[in-house]
């Protein structure tokens, strides 16, 4: 959710930190701040409520921060305490010696705050983060008085380690101290931190987008690990001060993939990137000539997967919708019992994980807190754990027994688009991978793979209708209540279409199975209400037509996603958006694209902030 950037090296820190914050804007935030320490040991902090541009204005109204080469910056998404300047990061202890930025939640902050208050410390914010800064400062002062510096460590490192042993919850932190003006200490548990390794410099961030401009060499911190960084040297340890040999990895994505280019918004760019993203996702995996699916990330577990009795697909939001599509795919194509469940509910209901259960965690970022917790619960109960993620080196990717990367490229827009279609593609390949090894004939597999490989070009044809969809959006964007209805494979698509509309245009919308409408929601239909049906040619086409008639009879306005060449559908509809014909299991990959465009154009028409919708964050790393 929140964003962290920190730097230590030979360069001037301030411009680098501000630029890093801008690259993290998509994660969602409500305030921002920066702290640097100059060579004389003076701490300089600026904080502001609102966008990073407000922080920049504040920096221009006061003397420029000095030519400091150590500093850190933060974008905050409020959890404990309202979005105010006092609650913005960085936070300091009450001496002003220690400064800290933090992603995550300190669950026992109230008890720690009471303890520190009783010791005479005075707090100035409502945040759990200030409690951690104060605790580190208190421990630092005690160690300094007692002269307890251990050989090979710094006092700051020891104080941070001691404080983290008292903390319950999750954190990704960066800490600096006026008394050690060349030292940056970072640590993580449950909230991602990446260390970019440059020439005698290090840039730490919660996301690779803030690093890739400066270096492609990175170290991914694991839970309960920390690093002490100085110009030209760094040391990684556990929070118990056990030295760890760092593994330096190469970032997969290039800088230009994070750039907006000629598009007005990242969301529109990513909608139009779906054909190339799916081609990348399929490359080397869907072999048309041999009618074969190759999934190197799970090949070592082939026997366990084929013999599995049950699959549980888990995720949140759009990833959960992809999991619902996967539920249909796995039972239809692989003929295996499958359940799709919210990750946030999974670990709290004491789930039954029997022998032969495979749990698949689906997350674009690979850092979603609820999904990671569900994955760990499943592993604890003995399940084989797989991951479907987009971000290489993410926590879920590293904690699974195996998995499949999306290779969709960076997704910056908060409203997920290309990740959803690539998740559905991966789940289709997984179902084919298993189905072919169990019962599926080569001819059926060949037909499916051919259909899958045709999808990128078919989506390009759908995208050509963007202006047509824009006109529909402009006609209905002032209506405050919408329904999205579909059957079978298109029920999850209806959910996804409704989610896209509500999260970026702030229109109340509901998705549901078309047959469910008669069991209550039909009472909502009134004159002129927009109702979106997914009515492509398939096994339930006639049933959907009947549902359309029921809405028309009550005055609803019918917007239909239909198969190209279906002349019959026009007499039941006010507006039709056509998609190419596809095999029924592949239709969601096409029918969701008009709904993405519809949500986008509605949001633009309503003058909403498409890429940074209110109250939302791209990567939800707290529960």
Distance, in Å, from the CA atom of 135 to the CA atom of 303, rounded to the nearest integer, reads 51
Q: For residues 598 and 591, is the Cβ–Cβ distance under 8 A?
A: no
Provide the token pair at 191.
């909230």
2 is catalytic: yes
Please return the burial class of 222, using the count of CB atoms within 10 Å of its CB with bins 0-12, 13-18 and 19+: middle
Active-site residue, selected from the candidate residues 2, 424, 602, 608: 2
Distance, in Å, from the CA atom of 293 to the CA atom of 296, rounded to the nearest integer, reads 10
Q: Per-residue DSSP letters for 338-385?
A: EEEEEHHHHTTS-----TTEEEEEEESSS--HHHHHHHHHHHHTT-EE
618 is catalytic: yes
Our CA dihedral for 148, 151, 154, 155, rounded to 10 degrees, sits at 0
Please return the burial class of 416, using the count of CB atoms within 10 Å of its CB with bins 0-12, 13-18 and 19+: buried
Active-site residue, selected from the candidate residues 113, 189, 418, 618: 618
Q: Per-residue DSSP letters for 499-555?
A: HHHHHHH--EEEEEEGGGGGGTGGGG--TT-EEEEE--SSTTHHHHHHHHHHHHTTT
CA nearest to 526, candidates 483, 484, 577, 485: 483
Q: Per-residue DSSP letters for 453-488?
A: HHHHHHHHHHHTTHHHHHHHHHHHTT-SEEEEEE-T
Catalytic center residues: 2, 618
């Amino acid at each position: 959710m929140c964003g962290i950037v920190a730097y230590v090296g030979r360069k001037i820190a301030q411009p680098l930190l501000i630029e890093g914050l801008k690259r993290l804007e998509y994660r969602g935030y409500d305030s921002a701040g920066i702290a640097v320490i100059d060579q004389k040991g003076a701490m300089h902090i600026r904080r502001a409520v609102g966008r990073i541009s407000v922080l920049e204005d504040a920096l221009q109204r006061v003397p420029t921060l000095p030519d400091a080469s150590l500093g850190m910056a933060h974008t905050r998404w409020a959890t404990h305490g309202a979005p105010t300047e006092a609650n913005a990061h960085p936070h300091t202890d009450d001496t002003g010696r220690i400064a800290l930025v933090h992603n995550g939640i300190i669950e026992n902050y109230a008890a720690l705050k009471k303890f520190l208050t009783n010791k005479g410390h005075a707090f100035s914010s409502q945040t759990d983060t200030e409690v951690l800064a104060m605790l580190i400062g208190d421990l630092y002062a005690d160690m300094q008085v007692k002269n307890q510096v251990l050989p090979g460590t710094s006092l700051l490192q020891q104080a941070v380690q001691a404080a983290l042993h008292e903390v319950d919850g999750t954190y990704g932190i960066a800490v600096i101290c006026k008394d050690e003006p060349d030292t940056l200490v970072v640590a993580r548990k449950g909230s991602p931190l990446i260390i970019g390794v440059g020439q005698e410099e290090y840039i730490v961030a919660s996301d690779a987008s803030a690093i890739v401009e400066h270096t492609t060499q990175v170290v991914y911190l694991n839970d309960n690990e920390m690093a002490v960084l100085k110009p030209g040297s760094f040391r990684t340890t556990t929070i118990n001060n056990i030295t760890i040999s760092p593994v330096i990895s190469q970032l997969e994505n290039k800088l230009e993939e994070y750039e907006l280019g000629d598009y007005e918004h990242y969301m529109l760019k990513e909608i139009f990137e779906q054909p190339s993203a799916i081609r990348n996702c399929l490359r080397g995996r869907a072999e048309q000539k041999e009618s074969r699916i190759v999934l190197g990330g799970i090949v070592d577990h082939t026997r366990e997967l084929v013999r599995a009795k049950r699959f549980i697909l888990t995720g949140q939001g759009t990833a959960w919708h992809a999991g619902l599509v996967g539920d249909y795919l796995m039972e239809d194509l692989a003929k295996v019992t499958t359940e799709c469940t919210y990750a946030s509910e999974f670990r709290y209901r004491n789930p039954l994980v029997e022998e032969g259960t495979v749990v698949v965690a689906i997350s674009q970022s690979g850092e979603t807190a609820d999904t990671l917790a569900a994955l760990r619960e499943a592993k604890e109960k003995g399940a084989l754990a797989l991951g479907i993620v987009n971000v290489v080196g993410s926590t879920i990717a590293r904690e699974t027994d195996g998995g499949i990367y999306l290779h969709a490229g960076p997704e910056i827009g908060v409203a997920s688009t290309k990740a959803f279609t690539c998740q559905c593609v991966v789940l289709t390949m997984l179902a084919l991978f298993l189905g072919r090894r169990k019962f599926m004939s080569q001819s059926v597999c060949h037909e499916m793979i051919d259909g899958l490989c045709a999808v990128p070009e078919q989506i390009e044809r759908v995208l050509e209708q963007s202006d047509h969809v824009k006109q529909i959006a402009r006609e209905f964007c002032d209506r405050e209540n919408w329904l999205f209805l579909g059957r079978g494979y298109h029920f999850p698509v209806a959910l996804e279409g409704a989610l896209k509309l509500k999260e970026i245009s702030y229109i109340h919308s509901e998705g549901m199975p078309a047959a469910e409408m008669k069991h209550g929601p039909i009472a909502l239909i009134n004159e002129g209400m927009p109702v979106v049906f997914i009515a492509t040619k398939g096994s339930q086409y006639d049933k959907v037509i009947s549902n359309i008639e029921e809405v028309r009879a009550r005055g609803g306005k019918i917007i239909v996603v239909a198969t190209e060449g279906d002349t019959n559908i026009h007499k039941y509809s006010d507006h039709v958006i056509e998609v190419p014909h596809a095999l029924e299991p592949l239709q969601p990959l096409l029918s969701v694209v008009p709904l993405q465009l519809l949500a986008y154009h509605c949001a633009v028409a309503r003058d909403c902030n498409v890429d940074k919708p209110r109250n939302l964050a791209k990567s939800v790393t707290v529960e």
